[in-house]
Structure 1
Amino acid sequence: MNPIRWRGWLIAAVIFVLGVVVGGASVTWLGARAVRRSLQGGPGAPAGLAERAAVRIGADLRKNLQLTPDEAQRVQAILDESAANLRTMRREALRNARAELRSSMRRIAAELPPEKRAQFREIMVRRFERLGLRTPAGPEAQEPE
């Protein structure tokens, strides 16, 4: 094969590999962002998984059981209440996880010599940000209790 033909194949291979890498990185980044957003959903957040499931289950039951409008309304109210309870449980679990992470961070910092605490805090700030959690702030996060 002549050199010009090899260059064409090489350029095509490089474009393919770059497309795969950029596409994979984009999907990973968007997926992680979607997971973070769903975990941090607050009161104004779009309907979460539990709410969407309640609507789908209600529609499925209404159709398959041929529920009357009154029955469908009562069933949907129960499903909506359950979805709200699940959302509350998820928020509480996230709050507990944050508290445990901060507690362990303070305990670890207490075990480290003062010259290593600043570096430890920088590492932990990056990890908190990757998890989509707010960075611990205030003196209690910087110095152990």
Structure 2
Amino acid sequence: MNIPFLGIRRKKQGETTPAADPEGIAELLSECDLLRSLAAREGVLLDDSARSLEALDQLVPRWRDDEEILPWLGNDAGLYLGTVTVRTVPGAQWQVWPGGRPLVRLASGREFDVVAAGHEWAANGVPELSQLYGEVAEA
């Protein structure tokens, strides 16, 4: 798959890479349709704030019994955590590695694997998304 603004495609000899589009990446990664739909059904508005992460942590995890939905929800939870972080923590930005693995890079240079964190939250409920956000925001 060739998504030029993600910069995943390998360059041919002598070819230049187009500049990455951070806003396009952020928009794409912030969709989280499954999580937003699930939250809306439970009356939780996901407004890309730290407060919305706390509300997600309070949801009854009915999805844990559905092995088909669990991995997708984990991805969305991680991407939503990353979205909140990028939008609210000064200097935080998305970093997409070759192969498409999205991470959040903090101003300090520390990288945070939000998707792995989202999978842990979806499967186990711990660590809580708001707790992870608090740790990252303080770093």
TM-score (normalizing by structure 1): 0.27
Greater RCO structure (CA 8 Å; 6+ sep): 2
Structure (1/2) with the larger helix percentage: 1
Structure (1/2) with the larger strand percentage: 2
TM-score (normalizing by structure 2): 0.28
